[in-house]
Amino acid sequence: MCHHIISLSDQEQLVEKLEIFKFQGRDKNGHRVLRIVGKFLSARFLSVDALKNYLEENIFPRLKKKPFSVLYLHTQVQKNENFPGISALRSIYDVIPIDARDNLQAIYFLHPSLQAKLFLATFGRLHFGSRLYGKLRYIKRIDYLWDHIRRNEVKIPEFVCDHDEDLEGHQILDCGLESDHPRVCGAPFMDSPVTMYSTRCI
């Protein structure tokens, strides 16, 4: 998975710095939300071991006691660039504690591609089970996200906002009513190699 020689500790620090996994806010049912930024799960820089170590030390212990939901940002995930691969995802899934799996209430999947939907509908059921697949909630636009997650409690990276605006320019591809809610993005992210958050309002 990881093709560049980076020490395990440096990889874990990169996961922390990029805020790939971060608890932010709650959904409309009051469940704590774990936000995952798919774009930064780079197969070129992060090994499965680094991701597993980080999750086991920093995330999993906080998932065992109470119900929670996941917000997965699939924006700009490309198979050849930053998709870890099915074997890596399965390896990570296998180390998730049973209590944490039981406490998972929903997975809000923002900006799903057609390829991702087809993949999850076939291989996803096979590798992760129909129970987990049944918790998936596809969210095609940020405006629709606020129907499920409390507004102003989750920071949306700038590149996600930009992509959403691109989609807004192609409304013919959208189905359903558009929301006129204002949008909220967070503040810039420290010294990240990319500008993660926008100060614009959603």
Q: Which residues pair with 107 in a beta bridge?
A: 70, 136
Helix (H) or strand (E) holding 108: strand 104-110
How many CB atoms are closer than 10 A to CB 79? 12
- The SS3 call for residue 36 is strand
Question: Out of 11-25, 31-45, 54-68, 137-151, which region has the weakest mean confidence (pLDDT)?
Answer: 31-45
Q: Which residues pair with 197 in a beta bridge?
A: 157
pLDDT tens, residue by residue, 3-41: 556 899 999 999 999 999 999 999 999 999 999 998 888
pLDDT band at 113 (very low <50, low <70, confident <90, very high): confident
d(CA 144, CA 176): 10
d(CA 152, CA 186): 9
User: What was the pLDDT predicted at 80?
Assistant: 65
Per DSSP, 121 falls in state: I
User: What was the pLDDT predicted at 168?
Assistant: 75
User: What was the pLDDT predicted at 171?
Assistant: 59
pLDDT tens, residue by residue, 74-90: 998 876 666 666 777 77
d(CA 51, CA 37): 13
Dihedrals phi, psi of 137, to nearest 5 degrees:
-130, 105
pLDDT for 46 beyond 70: yes
